[in-house]
Structures are given as structure tokens and as C-alpha cells.
Homo-oligomer: A and B are copies of this chain.
Amino acid sequence: MKEECGVVGVLLDDTKSQSKTAALQIYYSLYALQHRGQESTGITVYNGGSTHSLKGMGLVPEVYAREDIVKLVGHVGIGHVRYSTTGQSRIENCQPLIVNYKSGTVAIAHNGNLINGHDLRDELESEGRIFITDSDTEVVAHLLVKELLKHGAVESIKNVMKRLKGSYSLAIMIDDLLIAARDPLGIKPLCIGKTDLGLVVASESVAIDTLNGKLIRDVKPGEIVVLKDGEVESHQVYNTTHAAHCVFEYIYFARPDSVIDGQLVYKVRERIGRELAKEHSVEADIISPVPDSGITSAVGYSRESKIQYQEGLMKNRYIGRTFILPGQEMREIAVRLKMNTIAENIEDKKVVLIDDSVVRGTTSRRIINMIKDSGAREVHARIGSPAIIAPCYMGIDMATREELIAANNKVENICNTINADSLGYLSIDGLVRAIGLDKEDLCMGCLTEVYPLEIPGEKCQCRQTRLNQF
């Protein structure tokens, strides 16, 4: 599973001081959002008269040299980390996207995926427009600039939002104006915070924490927020009866210490574990997580079931970097390099193994085999999400329907395939309870095959969103 991006925007209160270290604040924030994208990163700032950028392929500490950050003077700016869903690792695709237009410069950092991105691109191409990158972001830039010729910034973004279908959390800088916007269903997270030095918007609240700031609130679905003179000005473009927050942010993507749409991810995961224990109890000796994503749920399962929490697998902390290694043999040894059993903890034990989700089943099978090779008597797989039976169209590159093991197999089959002694998925209702939001406010398209947006060939339970009058 691959998450697309993390975005951040920073506006310093002091627009006059010499230092104007918006870039440094953005840099620290991107560190905190690194888990949302490790392929490329960029920072763009505006300093009174002009826009300057740093960009590159790789991790935050690899791309930015301290000297360069220090030279990137400006009191306002935006930043981005990116995880390619397409595999097209091109420097041209690295964000923020900066475009010059009639009246100045627009910089855009985008997290999400447009369902009608292709159509909009076609439409724009029909006007004779050209595209230099592969990204939806360039589509947004075209639409936005067209509006900016006729309207003010907020009006323009509003008009653009009318055209977009899909998920988007945007940090936009129009010259020195910092604006954030979130799609009408609030699919991807976006929140606002306050630090000693000014205001910040970010994909996750951990970015605000890192700056020693306070989370003010989430950007609302369908809302545009303008950060100006230390104030947060709100424009509710859409009124939405129900949101469609992506459940996988809670299940897997977000950092456990982030608070998204009012819910602490850590707590959600703990409750997922408790729900799972209630739904699929089993007599066992120990509860073991697949680290890191299974840890918190395993703690919850243990607490609910009163069965002892005991780590049976240890994750290599340096393995994050192996994605750069190609080769057949590598893939075979990959699981073993990434994960090791703690044999003594599992020998002769009945193990409940907790993971967040199962996509293709290959990794689960390898892990369970490793555990059995290390002497476990039984392995009972418990999955902190319902079965993934359909693809995501809102920006998550899970797999095709052909590849998704649960799209094509019953639970018993999957259980056999992954070599488990029993297998239990969390129920939809259990998940909803664990998240703690109204079921109608969640996207669960990949779990139910019912999407919150119209997607050709798929069922849809559309949310009622109504454009506000201004």
C-alpha cells in the first residue's frame, strides 16, 4: 500500500524580520510527515518579491542541506513529501508545483487523487493547453490560473473546487497568500495549528507538535482557509451532510500520535484491537503484533482478551531503505531482512498475530511460516481491518482487484493460503466503533465496494454536498 503525499504550509507572524525562517519550520514539519512520502520532497517560500524553491529526490535529510535551508529566506511557504503511486520517479513530478501566470506566481502542494483528473486534462488539452508533468496538480494549476485572471484568490479556488471530483488536501501559495483547501468529503486529512512563530497547516497534527505548536482544528470538508496577518479566515465552499474520511488513515497511513478529524490514531488502533478481541476471540498463549503497524492493536487485543502481550517479531529499523535494491533473490529474502522472529517468545506457543491489513497475502504467508518455523504451535491471524475487496480511486495504490486476495477468495481460502490456523477480519461495524465517528462520515469504498463518489463501473452511495452561496 502506498500513500501519496504530505503537505505543509507555514505563515510567520513576523513578516518583517531579517530571519524569515518559514523554510526551517517547513523543513521540520516535513521530517514529521516523512512517513507519508519518501520518494521526493520540496519547499517553496515567498520573500516579499519572489518565490524560491528547493527540491529533490529522496528523504528530507538527503535533499536539504542546512546551508540551503538557511538561504531560503521567506516569511511564508509550503512544502511537500511525495510517494509515487505511478512509479514514475521523475524530478519534474516533485512538488510543490510552481507556475508563473499573468499576475504572479502560484505554488501548489497536493495530497489526493482526482477521479476526473483525466477528463479535466482532456478538457484543458482541448483548449490547446500543455502539460509538462504527469500530476493532477498541474490540472489544478491550470484551472486555478484561469480563474485568477477573473476573480480573487478565494473565489478562484472556490470555482476550481466546483470542477474537482476526488480527494484533495491542498496547500496553495499565491504570491504571499497562504491558502489551504480540503475536498467536500474530507477524504484526506488536513489540519491547522498555531506555533510561537505563526500559523501552520499540515496533513497531520504531528507536524504541528514537532514545531511545539497547538492543533487548532481540522480544515473542514469543503472548506477554504486563508491564513493572513496571523488570522485564520474560513470560507465554507460546500456544505456536506456527511464526510467520507478515509478509514485507512486510521488503520495504517497516519502516525499513531496524530489526531485526525478529532480522533487520536493511537486510540483508534487500540480500540481496533479491543473490537477484534471481542469479535474473534481465541484461546491462546500470547498476542503478538506484526511490527510496527500491528503494535497498538495488539496492545488493545491483549488488554481486552487478558492474554499476555509478547513480541514475537522484531523489525529491522534500517530496512526502510532497502526499496532501492532490485532483484529476484532480494524479494525472497526481503521478509527475513525486514523481520526476525524472537524464537524463545513463541516456541510452543499458541500465537495470536495482529496485523493491520492483508493485501495480496504474500507477506502474511511468509511471516506466518517464519513464526511456525520458530516453533509456534498455532498461529491465529487477526486483522485490524475488514477484508480489502476493491481498489481505491482516491489516491491509494493498493492493488488491482485481480491481486487483492480477499476480492477473489473466501476467508477459509485466505486462511489456508497464508497458512494460519484461524483468520479473523474486523467487521465493518467494529471498525466504525473503533474509529468513533459516524459511519456515514467514513469512506470505506475498498472494503464495501460502495464509494462516496461516482466512479464509472462502481456502486456509489453519494454524499449530499451543497454549494454554499457567498
Contact = CB atoms under 8 A, between A and B. Distances in A.
Contact of A324 (B32, B61, B340, B341): B61
B129 A129 contact: yes
A307 B321 CA distance: 37
Integer count of this chain's copies in the complex: 4
A467 interface: no
Contact of A316 (B32, B122, B330): B32
A278 interface: no
Interface in A291-316: 292, 296, 299, 303, 308-309, 311, 314, 316
A360 interface: no
Interface string A7-38: 00000000000000000100010011011001
Given A299-B309, A309-B299, A311-B296, A340 B132 contact: no
A149 interface: yes
Interface string A146-164: 1011000000000000000
A34 B316 contact: yes
A91 interface: yes
A102 B122 contact: yes
B318 A318 contact: no
Contact of A267 (B38, B292, B344): B344
The residue among A62, A125, A319, A340 with the most chain B CB atoms within 10 A of its own CB is A340
A62 B206 contact: no
Contacts of A318: 31, 34-35, 38, 59-61, 320
Contacts of A309: 299, 309
A311 B66 CA distance: 32
Given A60-B318, A210-B336, A299-B309, A327 B129 contact: no
Contact of A99 (B130, B257, B292): B130
Contacts of A255: 314, 340
Contacts of A292: 317
Given A130-B141, A324-B61, A337 B149 contact: no
Contacts of A59: 318, 321
A50 to B, nearest CB: 12
A440 B317 CA distance: 33
Given A32-B340, A340-B209, A97 B321 contact: no
A233 interface: no
7 contacts: A31-B319, A34-B316, A92-B92, A100-B132, A102-B125, A128-B148, A299-B309
Given A99-B132, A299-B309, A317-B320, 16 more contacts: A59-B318, A62-B321, A66-B327, A66-B330, A129-B145, A130-B145, A132-B133, A206-B314, A210-B337, A210-B340, A257-B342, A264-B344, A266-B314, A292-B317, A296-B311, A317-B317
